[in-house]
Chains A and B, each alone.
Chain A
Amino acid sequence: MTFPHPGAWLRHRGPALVVDGIDGWDGEVARCHGAAGDWTWSRILEGSAQTAGIACALGDEAWRSGAIVAEYRDVEVLAERHVGGVVFAARPERAVLGYRRCRTTATGLDGAPLLRGVVTLLPDRRPA
């Protein structure tokens, strides 16, 4: 299976797009990666949210115009900073009233845990 560039389904561009590529989708979990660099915990959180958006888009075409974050919950910051590449995983779970809750993890390339938590997304419906 080939995957598009993350920018095909996310509205993020330039420095705001922190996920570099989609690596896998098994029908339940999406895997993406972020390039080697100096990552702060908030940037890792952003990558987790972007991966969650990609996971929703992989599972449902209705999510391919982008999504917005409605909530972060139970996010454990396991590393304040990380130098290197980051592997993101996101598993969409419950869908309630148009919102989609996703469980996310972020690790270094060596598997060291960096962050995990839950992000709830809403399909992006831009104001007129």
Chain B
Amino acid sequence: MRDPAAGAFASLARDAHGLTAAVDPAYAVAAARGHFPDEPLLPGSVLVELMAEAARGLYGGPARVAAVERAVFRRRVRPSERIVVVVRADGARHVEAVVRANDDEAAVGRLRFGPHA
């Protein structure tokens, strides 16, 4: 099965601090389907998957998510918004992530990665 967030990003930009990934609007609309019919929102689990997928871009290849140490959702994210994921490495195994929606800090997270089984 294809990674669900593969192809989620319209662009990736690296700098000295990390990586910034802009979410493809078509991906966001598809990811919000059924969540919810009267108020489309990106599920928290999708935002976490986007953090992980952006982190894989930072690592430059496959990386297994071992843990979501913390993911805090500060506001609802609509698929119609401009959604950007910013990640930076914190050591060899951890990534700090921020999801911005129309420049608001919508979610933050800390993920731990492990070796592939």
Contacts and interface: CB of A to CB of B under 8 A. Distances in A.
Given A38-B1, A42-B45, A73 B65 contact: no
B48 interface: yes
Given A72-B44, A81-B1, A16 B34 contact: yes
Contacts of A46: 43, 45-46
B67 A75 contact: yes
Contacts of B1: 38, 40, 81
Contacts, number: 91
B67 A76 contact: yes
Contact of B73 (A12, A16, A69, A77): A69
B4 A42 contact: yes
Contacts of A40: 1, 3-4, 49
B48 A71 contact: no
Nearest to B38: A11
A45 B34 contact: no
A80 interface: yes
Interface residues of B, number: 30
Given A13-B37, A77-B66, A43 B45 contact: yes
A75 B33 CA distance: 25
Contacts of B69: 73-75
Contacts of B67: 74-77
B68 interface: yes
B68 A77 contact: yes
Nearest to B67: A76
B4 A16 contact: no
B93 interface: no
Interface of B: 1, 3-5, 32-39, 43-46, 48-49, 52, 64-73, 76
7 contacts: A43-B4, A45-B45, A46-B45, A66-B36, A72-B70, A77-B66, A81-B1
Task: Please name the 10 residue pairs, one residue from A and one from B, whose CB atoms are nearest each other, closest first.
Answer: A16-B34, A14-B34, A16-B35, A46-B45, A42-B49, A75-B68, A69-B44, A11-B36, A72-B71, A13-B34
